[in-house]
Structure 1
């Protein structure tokens, strides 16, 4: 479709008006400065633009019919309003008269005041949100809050797994003791090994003072064969019993090393046959040691039902000796009652 003369002219008007809008905008910015030469040049450009617009407008009115003229007035009103022009000057610069049929009221008053005859348009839409900024530094810890109320009591839990049998050996736990006079352990304990009681000769003032439970199968390292005078010596131990259990006299004393995995402490209590509260009795018997007029030795608890070492000798070898211990009570010694002078003392081995 060919463009009519009117459409061609009107298109040029719109282009010139748009160009004039930016010129006016630049002019407003320059008019605010103090550069007089640039203001004068801008005003001249605006006047030239206005003359061109005016001539094109008159040509359009001459060529168009009355109906077309009315429509163009509406377009002119829209164009001028888009430029926010409400009067005929811009800081003293004449923009030319409105077309017949238009009045300043048709263009509407400025919304935010006018500068040189121009007013600001309506506010635009809000722009898009900017990008998120970098994360800030962590804040300081707040003050501790007040203590809360106790919570409700929880539900009863499920039954736990069965515990380990008390007879099971626990690595690193338990205790051991020596049962003198027997080669077996009580039912509450386990046998580590059994052997023979050994100690120093009753006439020797040297060597060890304590008794040892020697195993039946000794092991050696480097040795110097034969007896040497510059050595300590150890002998088997014999019962020296008179009046009671005389069948044990001169027999060798056996021993058993016992362990109690489920209990961690051991105690030998002299002059008692019962254990303290919560302690378990392992065995009981008689307190024995070397004779009073021999060299001093160790007090040990020999089982009540002592026996001789199986396969041992009953010959009077007189090595280490064990005699019953009797209490001596008198002023300055053990208190008489509860102790009875001359009575053989008992003993008990306890664990917990």
Structure 2
């Protein structure tokens, strides 16, 4: 009797071992395909189980094995939206575990000229689309409560890298950007702006011009001071980058490349024409980086009123305190452009 019972136990153990091997081979070995090394899979907000299967099926060797494990782990009843990292060689169990771990996005943006361009850039990195982002940034109540307008709300965005979950809502994204803006404007920066007689938005607006005028970070405090000198004298800023912005805005074409401002452009009817209008334009003409912002807040000490591109030090400018000297510098630059054949 004992021998027979022992035989039954051995047989059952053997069957269990065979079952365990089958289960392991089906559910704990590679169930991926079309994954060279790793890739991110995005599950939209509101997705049901069938939608998830539709999204991930191109990357599964055996979808039924996945569905079996998903059912055991109750994943089919608890779907998580977000961005998930699929790695080559993941088993069905590993895939289900992966779909429970939402991976953050390291979101970056800079150098955007308009809110529209910025929203396109952002929407390529998180779930909310361009239309939704524009809507929340231009919400009239939000603008009024935080001292922005449709023309200057882009001043709220400090170019940097930020961590978000892919499925963050447009409202939460906007509120996080507002908080980052408020944190950036420390008491020290606010006091510097007040000393200049400028609001934070006005600093950002002037910094956007400085940012466009020169890529040389060591020259930005000097350029900033020139514009501050002009503001103090009640002179027009006469900033070519604002004319370029006005032309692009008029043409509704921000992809065009304008290397040379023509005399005819200086009469363009636009609030961004700083040759005609006194003071700052309605808002930033691009997103200034932090070096340009701090250049405005901590400008150079000089009495320069004029500057133009240098033909001897590429990327830098020649500065002048008198119009006569500026005319000499400007003619050199104009002659140089003519030699190059640059018409626009």
TM-score range, shorter chain: under 0.3
- Structure showing greater Rg: 1
TM-score scaled by structure 2?
0.19
More helix by share: 2
